[in-house]
A and B are shown apart, each in its own frame.
Chain A
Amino acid sequence: MTAPLGRIRGGVHTAVRHDSAVGHVTGCALYLDDVANAPGSLEAALVLSPYAHARIRRIDFSRALAAPGVAAVVTAADIPGKNDVAPIRSDEPVLPPEVATYEGQPVMAVAAATLDQARAAAKLVDIEYEPLPPVLTIEEAMARQLYVSPPQTMARGDLAAGFASAAHRMSGELRAGGQDHFYLEGQIALAMPGDDGSITVQSSTQHPTEVQHGVAHLLGLPFNAVTVEVRRMGGAFGGKESQATIIAGIAALLAWKARKPVKLRLPRDDDMRATGKRHPFLFRYDVGFDGEGRILALDLTLAANGGNVADHTPAVLTRALCHADNCYWLPNVRLTGLPCMTNTVSNTAFRGYGGPQGMLAIETIIDSIARHLRQPVEAIRRRNYYGTDRNNVTPYGMTVEDNIIARVADELDRSVNLAGWRAAVDGFNRASLTIKKGLATMPVKFGISFNRPSLNQAGALVHVYTDGSVLLNHGGTEMGQGLFVKVAQVVAEAFQIDLDHIRVSATTTGKVPNTAATAASSGSDLNGMAALHAAEQIKTRMAEVAAEHFGVSAHEIVFACNRIYAGNRSLSFAELAALSWEKRVSLSAAGYYRTPKIHWDFTTNTGRPFFYFAYGAAAVEVAVDTLTGEMRVLRAELLQDCGASLNPAIDLGQIEGAFMQGMGWLTTEELWWDSDGRLRTHGPSTYKIPGSRDVPPIFNARILADAPNREATVYRSKAVGEPPLMLAIAVWLAIRDAIASTAPNARALHIDAPATPERILGAIDALRATAAAN
């Protein structure tokens, strides 16, 4: 073999920068709102329901229609097709025909020549509502058994026997708040009717296919009449899956009616009021354990606030159930999932998708067990970890085959000298009067693949041009996560050409059809494999051309370092591309991938929903002010399993960003509704995501070394989008630890999430009160 040993630039496993980095820093990267409007385009504004629950008696939009610049209005009555944009179930109207079911729900929309005209006209719409009593809390919905989809159970073993054998039994309750996605770019769509009964929609969406379907349903069109495109989003985090369909759907309705392009961009307040968020949960648990903290029986109810309609709730709930075990063997377990229906905005996909909530519950339970037994939580966890050849089956019946949690957690503990760190924190607390520190670790095991097997498929389209440049298209969308560059690296590696020969084009339903959402961390797993499949097909054809050219057999042809070798003779990639064309060999291929091994039974909640698991561990130190409840994260050490990382630079960014986002969810980000069900935290002035100073002053995120995926994923990498978010549960546990230090004799500690200063102070007071009562 005379192929050179050098590497191409930008192959897999290299830290290549984001493909749009220069565009980002120069402001040249275009987002949907940056594209100049075509002449005659309209801009739109929504009219939102001021009531959480109200019958719409009469809509009078005559003043709005007469207002300057107004070209069209739409209400539910104007929908030519089916008024339904449900992602999973059906009958989720894009505009309510009769009854508004949450405050902030879009009731109608107005399109006018300018944005200000549209917004002004929207204020002129006169709607007569008949307020109805709203259901606002999970408890109320539970009491009345109001659900958006059927309750779910996941059970295994003999609960009664488990409790009977347990020396200890404990029950409790925990609440976790929701979270706004707060993507920096708000929801936006631009709908352009074609001249042939078709419509093109540019949408800031993670799910072009769903927007295509939603628009087709609303307009009564076949899917082939709707094309949906997205180049990039300014952040999404799950908030631009089903929610983007609502926005694109309304824009399409207006455009269809006005016969003009219509752009609908939500101002931040409308975005936060109208669109769904992470699900708030109420957990109730009853746990039996032995004197060493081994869990023998767990009866856990996970009640999610689904909001007004189902949206993603059934699937989020399933994922919550599938992660309520985290890393632990639960021999006798019953997990009950309640998808509660309330008159609040329908909650939706958000990075982690129920996983963070499930894990928050089990980790709080384990922490409580440790405090009850006065044993270190790390020891208790270790006793409960899944085994490698026994005690290794999840409550949903999947055998954990790739368990490396002990390795990951140990490696982290060692690298941070956990014992020494603990001693330092304890020492500080003994000396400090009002400031108390807390320290905690957190192991994470997160299942990769959409729970629903059919979603785990992807397509890609690869064209090689005769100059050797490559155009790549796939069904995944770019929202900042670096998917485009990762998939391009895969193609570069396959062809053995430098990354800069590959261009990724905007995602469009016209090129790759029937795609799944770019979600569930699966973007590079699925699209990388599909692109690889396409590249391999072309490569095989090109190899045959080269073989003929050099008079050798195809298996002697080697692609390496931008050239194609047959022994010591070679052609450049471009030369071979041109030669292939001469020989009338196709240089274009569609690739396809479906994840192997997975299956799921929706009736029993069992199966193998996940191709593999991604693991991680964190250790975090916090300080709390026992006079005001103010909290600061002082140090965070993270170790994340990315398999053989496709791109360590991108993956590191995902780890850090996910951690900070998870930290926001559990600390400062509080959604607050008033007693009428009106969200009062609907802008960054009132809803506080972390800022730069909230980053722990000591913050080290590392990628686990030498840990290729044991499953045959794309170049043995692992998904990374969601798993590290749950490392932030260490912040939550560290806050609990700090609170506990204020009353060392008390065993029961309660705090709900997010741990705002107010909740921290409340928990300290309650704990001291129980300690005093003892």
Chain B
Amino acid sequence: MSAVRFLLNGELRAEQSVSATMTVLDWLRGIAGLTGTKEGCAEGDCGACTVVLGRMRNRELRYEAVNSCLMMLPQIDGCAVLTVEGVATADGTLHPVQQALIDADATQCGFCTPGFVMAMLAYQQGAEPPSDALIHEALAGNLCRCTGYRSIVDACRHVAVDPSDRRGVATSQTATALSGLPASKDYRSGGQVFLTPRTFAELHQALAQYPDAILLAGGTDIGLRVSKNREAIPVVISTVAVTELAAITSDAQALTLGGTVTYTQALPAFDAHFPALAALVRRIGSRQIRNLGTIAGNLATASPIGDMLPSLFVLNASVTLASQSGQRTVSVADFVTGYRKTVLAPGEIIATIRIPLLTSKHCFAAYKVAKRFDQDISTVVAAFLLARSGTTVREFRAAYGGMAARVTRASHLEAALSGRAWNGDHSPDLASALARDFTPMSDHRGSAHYRMQVAVGLLRRFQIETTSVAPARVEAL
């Protein structure tokens, strides 16, 4: 039994009495009385609740924006939390980010503003080059209904030109303070338990002790149960601190990601090895979501529109599953067995995800179609892998999400294309093959008919992009 300790705007806080599943947002607003952080949706989509988390990553303090509405309080154990109240200096001098928003007339009702301040602060701390693409990436998790964003983007451009100004975050001091905090491994309150094991052994032991526990990684999926559904989950076991699950390694054959690797952490490796996948990952949720959400979590959710899955399918990725009784390795394609169903046995976790590297003969593409470019769930998500001998298809793999109860390979399509000339031909038999592969459903994201059209359209886009230089995506303009 131990308290949750963290730095709140530079001040040490220890909390030991509130519910183990109280959200960080509710704690900030209700317990700490810091009402600058707002609730706009409680589902991770509006960004009004954005705070900046300083966490030790590879012995370096990294500041990242997160959605406080999706996080349970024990998740911030050992972190530095910055809220909008802690951004200006004590004498009231505004932070450059705040000043830039004022100068750009970028606030109207102001309800979204604290969230934007924090998202922009995290962006500024990252000292990224000032490009509009990166600014939109940094702001994609924040909605504003009043301004139309132009002024906010201008303000963001303004702070981006001077990334040296790192006011508001005392890095080395904070790192020292954080390293001195005793870790909370076992938080209990009112019958609820939140365990944060540090090692594999502790994790397995915890899972054995609490077979009904909810396993938590980033919590961008599980968090909705507490944030929106207001569930008081009895036992939560967090993977986040398990050292053996944190590694990212690559060799000549493959890239291997540990079970707690977040999208954000994986991005540099994806940029290096799978740029097409990296571009898709940048469209998963928002930075706030990607700073918490894990690849393993995406796999384990086994959602029919899980954006990672089609790519991992065609890349022949595999997962190593670990339990107290040992390890086994299965292909991602076999890992997913149905609608939100996997082969995971009780007590078993995803330890690593292995993605074989592409050879120079391979063309790989990953596409996502949604109503909105950023922060939207796919209507259809697809991945293709092609190897040619001359102009003939030697190897072709395609997998789709959003087309069935689970992500699957398009086997009829693959068969129809095998050995065929790859020249941008789009004979009707390819569409019929896809029609045999999938009977999609209709819902608010799109009708079955539209999904089929998109499935065909994305194949066609892949053909165009592999055979010509014509622009084939609106986002490229």
* A contact set with B: CB distance below 8 Å: 15, 17-18, 20-31, 33-34, 36, 116, 119-120, 181-186, 232-237, 267-269, 432-435, 479-482, 623-625, 627-632, 634, 649-650, 652-653, 656-661, 668, 670, 672, 680-681, 683-686, 688-695, 697, 699, 701, 756-758, 761-762, 765
Instruction: Let me know if A28 and B376 touch, CB within 8 A.
Output: no
Shortest beta-carbon distance from B72 to chain A in Å: 14
Number of interface residues of B (CB under 8 A): 86
- In B444-477, which residues have CB < 8 Å from any A CB? 444-447, 450, 453-454, 456-458, 460-461, 464, 468, 470-475, 477
Shortest beta-carbon distance from B159 to chain A in Å: 12
- In B98-113, which residues have CB < 8 Å from any A CB? 98-99, 101-102, 105, 107-113
B40 — nearest CB in chain A belongs to which residue?
Answer: A184
Shortest beta-carbon distance from A486 to chain B in Å: 13
Given contacts A184-B38, A434-B461, A628-B457, contact A27 B114 (CB under 8 A): yes
Q: A18-B107, A685-B41, A693-B136 are in contact. List 7 more A-B contacts (CB 8 A).
A: A24-B113, A184-B143, A434-B460, A480-B146, A625-B461, A757-B446, A762-B450
Shortest beta-carbon distance from A739 to chain B in Å: 14
Instruction: Let me know if B377 and A26 touch, CB within 8 A.
Output: no
Is B230 located at the chain interface by the 8 A CB criterion?
yes
Instruction: Let me know if A692 and B111 touch, CB within 8 A.
Output: no
Instruction: Let me know if B454 and A628 touch, CB within 8 A.
Output: yes
Shortest beta-carbon distance from A761 to chain B in Å: 6
Interface residue from A28, A433, A434, A481 paired with B108 (Cβ < 8 Å):
A481
B contact patch SS = loop
Instruction: Let me know if B132 and A697 touch, CB within 8 A.
Output: yes
Give every chain B residue within 8 A of A701 (Cβ-Cβ): 150
Shortest beta-carbon distance from A434 to chain B in Å: 6
Interface residue from B446, B458, B471 paired with A758 (Cβ < 8 Å):
B446
Shortest beta-carbon distance from A729 to chain B in Å: 16
Instruction: Let me know if B150 and A699 touch, CB within 8 A.
Output: yes
Give every chain B residue within 8 A of A685 (Cβ-Cβ): 41, 43-45, 377
Instruction: Let me know if B148 and A683 touch, CB within 8 A.
Output: no
A contact patch SS = loop
A16 — nearest CB in chain B belongs to which residue?
Answer: B105
Shortest beta-carbon distance from A752 to chain B in Å: 14
**Docked pose: A627 CA to B474 CA in angstroms:** 11
Interface residue from A652, A683, A758 paired with B447 (Cβ < 8 Å):
A758
What sequence of 0s and 1s flags, for each residue 266-289 of chain B, a beta carbon within 8 Å of any chain A beta carbon? Answer: 000000000000000000000000
Interface residue from A25, A184, A690, A691 paired with B98 (Cβ < 8 Å):
A25
A-B contacts, 19 of them at CB < 8 A, read: A25-B107, A31-B111, A34-B35, A234-B109, A235-B111, A237-B145, A267-B228, A434-B460, A434-B461, A434-B464, A435-B477, A653-B151, A659-B148, A661-B148, A680-B443, A685-B43, A690-B148, A691-B372, A691-B374
- In B124-164, which residues have CB < 8 Å from any A CB? 132, 135-136, 139-140, 142-153
Instruction: Let me know if B84 and A27 touch, CB within 8 A.
Output: yes
Instruction: Let me know if A267 and B42 touch, CB within 8 A.
Output: yes
Shortest beta-carbon distance from A39 to chain B in Å: 15
Shortest beta-carbon distance from A451 to chain B in Å: 25
**Docked pose: A119 CA to B230 CA in angstroms:** 8
- In B38-69, which residues have CB < 8 Å from any A CB? 38-46, 48
5 closest A-B pairs (Cβ-Cβ)? A27-B36, A480-B109, A234-B111, A24-B110, A627-B457
Instruction: Let me know if A686 and B107 touch, CB within 8 A.
Output: no
Shortest beta-carbon distance from A436 to chain B in Å: 10
Interface residue from A21, A267, A269 paired with B102 (Cβ < 8 Å):
A21
Give every chain A residue within 8 A of B371 (Cβ-Cβ): 668, 670, 688, 756-757
Give every chain A residue within 8 A of B108 (Cβ-Cβ): 18, 235, 480-482, 653, 657
Interface residue from A27, A267, A627, A657 paired with B458 (Cβ < 8 Å):
A627
Give every chain B residue within 8 A of A658 (Cβ-Cβ): 148
**Docked pose: A419 CA to B195 CA in angstroms:** 67
Give every chain A residue within 8 A of B472 (Cβ-Cβ): 433-435, 625, 627
**Docked pose: A30 CA to B114 CA in angstroms:** 12
Instruction: Let me know if A684 and B38 touch, CB within 8 A.
Output: no
Is B210 located at the chain interface by the 8 A CB criterion?
no
Instruction: Let me know if B35 and A27 touch, CB within 8 A.
Output: yes
Give every chain B residue within 8 A of A693 (Cβ-Cβ): 136, 140, 373-374
Give every chain A residue within 8 A of B139 (Cβ-Cβ): 691-692
Give every chain B residue within 8 A of A630 (Cβ-Cβ): 369, 373, 473-475
Give every chain A residue within 8 A of B473 (Cβ-Cβ): 435, 625, 630
Give every chain B residue within 8 A of A267 (Cβ-Cβ): 42, 228
**Docked pose: A232 CA to B470 CA in angstroms:** 51
Is B202 located at the chain interface by the 8 A CB criterion?
no
Give every chain B residue within 8 A of A15 (Cβ-Cβ): 105
**Docked pose: A22 CA to B114 CA in angstroms:** 11
Shortest beta-carbon distance from A202 to chain B in Å: 15
